[in-house]
Amino acid sequence: MNDIILRTEHLTKHFGALMAVQDVSLTLKKNLAHAIIGPNGAGKTTLLNLLSGELYPDQGTIRYKDQEITKLSPDQISRLGIGRSYQKTNIISSFTCFENCRLAAQSRLITFMDFFRPVKRLKALSQHAEKALELVNLSHQAATVAQTMSYGEQRQLELAMILATEPELLLLDEPLAGMGSQESGQIIELLQTLAKKHTLILVEHDMDAVFSIAQQLTVMVNGEILETGNVEQIRHSTAVQEAYLGHYEPQPHH
C-alpha cells in the first residue's frame, strides 16, 4: 500500500460544454514510468494541469503520498516534490541556461527570501545548477542565453530545471516534441535512467519512446480513461487498437 505515490479519484473538469477530463481515477506506483497516451484533445494536458495545480477540478480528488493536494497552488505542489514540464517550452527566456537552473535549485535550497547576499556567492546553488545541466548534456551551453538556443536544447534545459528542483514525481508533457533524433535519443536514455529512482508521468506521441520508457500505460479518449495496463496489455487491447493505435499503425488487412 505504501508504494502508491499518487491517486486520483473521479477527476472531472469541464470547459463550458466541453468535457476535458471525465471521471478519471488513476493509481500510480512509486518509481514507475507511467505514460498517458491518446489522440489530440483527449484531455491529457488538462489532466497534467489538474495534477500540477494549474487548474482545479470541478469534481474529484487528488492525493499525493498521504496528503490531499486537490486545491493546492502550483508552487505548493512543486514544493511537495512534483516537477512539471510543459508542452510549449516554458523557460525564463532571457536568463542563461545556468541562471535558469540556479533559479530552479534556489527554490529548494533557500527557503527564506534573501535580500542581501548576492546569489553568486551561494556555492551550493551553483553546484546544483551545474549538476542539473550536466545530466541533460547542456554544460557546454551554461553561459548561453536560453532564447538563442535551438528548440531541442530549450526542451533539454526545461528538463534540467525540473531536475534541479529534485522532484520525486515528474509530470512531463511531450518532452520529445520538436527534438532531433540524436537529441531525443539522449533524452530517452535520460528518462530511462530517471525512471529508476523517480516516478514519471509521461504524455508523449512518439510511441517508440513511450514503449521504451514506460512500464505502465493509460489510454485516454475524449477525456475518459479507455484502458490502463502494462505495455503488452495495451499493445494487444483491441479497444485501444480501434480507438487510438489504429491511427498510427494502419493495418491494411483490417
Partner 1 sequence: MVIINRKSFFFSIIFLLLILFPWIIEDSFYLEQLTRILILGIFAMSLDFLVGYTGIVSLGHAAFYGVGAYTLAYSFQSTDATNFWYALPLSLTASALIATIIGWLSIRTSGIYLLMITLAFGQMFYFFYLESSYFNGSDGIFLLNKPEILFGSYNLFDLENEVNLYFFVLGWFIIVFLLLKTILKTPFGQVIQGICVNESRVRALGYPTPRYKLISFVIAGTLAGLAGFLEATHTGFVTPSYSHWHQSGILLVILMLGGVRTLYGPVLGAATIVLLEDLLPEITDHWKLLLGILIILIVLFLPNGTTDLFSRILFRGPIQKANKDHE
Q: How far apart are CA 42 and CA 186, in angstroms?
A: 28
Q: Candidates 89-97, 188-196, 222-230, 232-240: pick the segment binding partner 1 (CB under 8 A).
A: 89-97
Nearest to partner 1 of 41, 74 (CB atom) = 74
62 in Cβ contact with 11 (< 8 Å): yes
Residue selected from 118, 181, 253, 254 as contacting partner 1 according to rule CB under 8 A: 118
Phi–psi pair at 96, nearest 5 degrees: -75, 170
Q: How far apart are CA 184 and CA 213, in angstroms?
A: 12
Residue closest to 87 by CA, chosen among 158, 2, 143: 158
In degrees, to the nearest 5, what angle opens at C-alpha 155 toward C-alphas 119 and 118? 5
Supply the minimum distance, in Å, between the C-beta of residue 46 and partner 1. 16
Supply the minimum distance, in Å, between the C-beta of residue 150 and partner 1. 14
Say if residue 204 is exposed, middle or buried (CB neighbours under 10 Å; 0-12, 13-18, 19+).
buried
Q: Which residues contact 74 (CB under 8 A, 6 or more apart)?
A: 52, 53, 54, 84
Chain-centroid distance, C-alpha 85: 5
Nearest to partner 1 of 107, 222 (CB atom) = 107
Interface characters, 196-225, with partner 1 (x: CB under 8 A): ------------------------------
Supply the minimum distance, in Å, between the C-beta of residue 166 and partner 1. 10
Q: How far apart are CA 207 and CA 212, in angstroms?
A: 8
Residue selected from 9, 54, 206, 224 as contacting partner 1 according to rule CB under 8 A: 54
Q: Candidates 1-9, 120-128, 179-187, 223-231: pick the segment binding partner 1 (CB under 8 A).
A: 120-128
Q: Does 126 bind partner 1 (CB under 8 A)?
A: no
Supply the minimum distance, in Å, between the C-beta of residue 147 and partner 1. 7
Q: Candidates 1-9, 56-64, 113-121, 126-134: pick the segment binding partner 1 (CB under 8 A).
A: 113-121
Q: How far apart are CA 50 and CA 179, in angstroms?
A: 26
Q: How far apart are CA 20 and CA 165, in angstroms?
A: 29
Q: Does 69 bind partner 1 (CB under 8 A)?
A: no
Residue selected from 4, 19, 110, 177 as contacting partner 1 according to rule CB under 8 A: 110
Q: Does 143 bind partner 1 (CB under 8 A)?
A: no
Q: Does 4 bind partner 1 (CB under 8 A)?
A: no
CA torsion sign for 252, 42, 215, 204 is positive
Nearest to partner 1 of 22, 52 (CB atom) = 52
Cβ count near 177 (within 10 Å): 17
Q: Alpha-carbon Rg of the chain, whole angstroms?
A: 19
Q: Does 88 bind partner 1 (CB under 8 A)?
A: no
Q: Which residues bind partner 1 (CB under 8 A)?
A: 52, 54, 73-76, 78-79, 84, 90-95, 99, 102-104, 106-108, 110, 113-120, 122, 125, 145, 147-148, 161, 165
